[in-house]
Amino acid sequence: MAIHKTAVVHKSAELDTSVEIGPYAVIGNDVKMGAGTKVEPHAVVSGPCTIGERNLIGSFATVGGAPQDMSYRGEPTELIIGNDNQIREYASIHRGTPHGKGKTVIGSNCLLMAYIHIAHDCVIGNNVVMANVATLAGHVEVGDRAAIGGLVAVHQFCRIGSLAYIGGVSGLGLDVPPFVIVAGIRERTRISGLNKVGLRRNGFSRQTISNLDSVFRIIFRSPNLLLKDALELAHKEYADCPEVDEMISFFQTSKRGVVRRTTED
């Protein structure tokens, strides 16, 4: 274990012998840290917090801090982080709240760039990218392989589907379905198309992409169809495609409503 002599590590912290702690970093009470994880200078990790293996926590990052919630009274909530994540400089990630999930959860293989903020009770999937200064309010859920551009702000309780791509400087107040591209246009966030590049890069077959493209046109570019009718038609035509089922289910389970306006509207 390599702990710099100026670092402060609480006696209750459980650190693997291969963990590296840089100068002036602070590791607080009830922190668990897996093999190969590195904490850079001046970072602060607070508990209860469980961090997996081979993570990088950048300089001046604040990980596991108390939630920014008016009702929080110091209850024992937690932050759980998977493996192989990069949490870059000045990032802030907070624990959950008792009236929420009680925990904030981040998956594995995520790139969380400088100055990002992940608030209390968020659930982040695997292979998620958040660019600089992207901000998630409380209770936000982000699916696997989603990409969130710089300076994006996401309202509390919103969901972002898997492999969705959110363009920079966008504000989200509604759920974003999986597999689509969203950007802020004329002061309103709108869907600009299917994320075909992301689908190809992630190994989806031509048939699956073609199915999703057809369903995209049914749901988003059929102005004469009510949403429920569009979803029924999509299910009828492509019932054997799991990705289509995922998109339909996302609409059916939404509580805030789903972005449906497009750049062509």
Residues marked active site are found at 120-121, 138
Q: Two tokens at 244?
A: 């289509």
Is residue 8 within 8 A of residue 28, CB to CB? The reply is no
Q: Two tokens at 154?
A: 């996401």
- Supply φ then ψ for residue 230, to 5 degrees: -65, -40
Q: Describe the strand order of the beta sheet including 153-154 as a list of residue ranges.
A: 8-9, 26-27, 44-45, 62-65, 92-94, 117-118, 135-136, 153-154, 171-172
Place of tokens 């919630």: 69
